[in-house]
Amino acid sequence: MSPVSISRLLFLAILLACILPAGAAAAPAPAYTTTYTITVQEDGTALWQIEYRTPLASDDDLLAFDNYTRDLPAVYLPQVRDLMQHSAVQASVVAARPMAISNVTGTTAVQTSPTGRYGIVLYSFSWSGFARPDGSLTIDDAFSGGLYLEKDNTLIIRYPYGWTVAQAEPAPDLQRDGLVWYGMRAFGPGEPRVVLEKPSFPLIPVIGAIVIIAMILAGFLVFRAYKRLAVERDREKEDEDRIEVGEPAVILSDAEEAGLEERIITLLVNERGEQYQSGIIRSLGLPKSTVSSALNNLHRKGLIQKIRKGRENLIRIAPDVR
C-alpha cells in the first residue's frame, strides 16, 4: 500500500462520514477500520476523535506508513482540517447557528498485538455548536447529510456525566460509556438523532448530606462537652488528691471539729444536698487532711454518704438529715 493510497482511504472515510448523503452507494470494504468518537460537552461543543487502524502486514506497508507519518503535518492534516471546516460550514447553514472547527491535530503510532502489526492514525478536533443546548442537548442537524459507516467501523457518542439519554434514533447497538453504533449502516438525514437531558437538582442526596453533616456536628459538640467535663473533674480530683508540700497539719479541738462538721452540713444544704469533696475543700479553705477527717466522722455518724464518681468522691447528705 503506497502513501498515496493510504491518504485516499483516509480522505474517503471522512468524506463518506461527513459529506455524502445517506443514499450514496457503499464503497468496497477498505483494508482498515475507522472509529469515530464524539464527546459532547454541556455547551454543545463536541470533541471529535477519528481513529484509523490499518494492518502493516509487510515491510513495504510499514515503510508506506512511515512516509505517511512524515507527511502528515504538512500534507494530510491540512486536508482533514479543510474538509472538516467545510463540513461545519455546510451544517451551520442548515442548522442556522454558528459552528466552527478548531484545535485540529493528527498523530500516528505503530501498535503490535497478538493479531498482528497495525498502523494507527488519530485525528482530533473541536466542533463548536455541534449540539443544540436548549435546556437539553440535541444532536441531529450537524448530520444534515446523514452518515454512512463501513463494515467493521464504529460510531461512539459520549455525553456529560450525570446526563441521561431521552431519545436515540436509530437505537444504538450498545449503550455503555456512551451510545455505540456498528457498521455496515446507513443513517438518514439528521441521524443519528440524540436528545440528552440534564439531571434535575438532586434534592434527596442534598438532604441526606445535610443530615449527615448535622449528625457529625452534634457528635462533635457532645464530644467537646464530654472532654470539658472530664478536664474539670480531673482538676477537681487533682485538687482533692494534692497535698501541698510543707502544708502544716491542723489539730482541732472537739468544739472546733464539731463546728467544722456543722459548716460542712450547712454547705451541703446550700448546694442542694451534695457536692464533690474537692469543692468542699476549696469552699472551706482548710487542708485536705482536716476536711477528710471531718467527712469521715460525718460518714461514721450516718450524716452523709460518700459516692464514688470516677476518681473522686461525691458527698451527699443522708436522707434522714434533710
Q: Could you tell me the CA-to-CA distances from 136 to 22, 156, 199, 200, 277 in Å, in that order?
A: 26, 19, 10, 11, 73
Residues 237-246: what's their mean pLDDT? Answer: 47
Residue 190 has pLDDT above 60, yes or no: yes
pLDDT of 20 higher than 50: no
Query: Other C-beta atoms within 10 Å of 243: how many?
Result: 9
CATH architecture label of 3-197: Sandwich (2.60)
**Fold designation for 205-321:** Arc Repressor Mutant, subunit A (1.10.10)
Q: For 60-76, write each residue's pLDDT tens digit.
A: 999 999 999 999 999 99
d(CA 149, CA 242): 90
Which has more pLDDT, 123 or 202?
Answer: 123
For the ranges 56-60, 225-229, 318-322, the lowest mean pLDDT is seen at 225-229
C-alpha cell at 189: 438525514
Given the DSSP bridges, would you call strands 154-158 and 179-182 parallel, antiparallel or unpaired? antiparallel
Total-model pTM? 0.57
* Mean pLDDT, range 98-104, rounded to an integer: 95
Whose cell is 467501523? That residue is 153
CA-based nearest residue to 44, from 77, 92, 104: 92
Our CA angle for 165, 23, 27, nearest 5°, is 105
> Hey, where are the domains in the chain?
3-197, 205-321
Strands 33-40 and 154-158: parallel
| Helices 254-270 and 277-284, axial angle in degrees (round to 10) | 120
Whether the per-residue pLDDT at 31 is higher than 90: the answer is no
Length of the chain in terms of residues written: 322
Q: Which residues on neighbouring strands pair with residue 108, listed in sequence order? A: 121
- Take residue 104 and report the three cell numbers written for it: 485540529
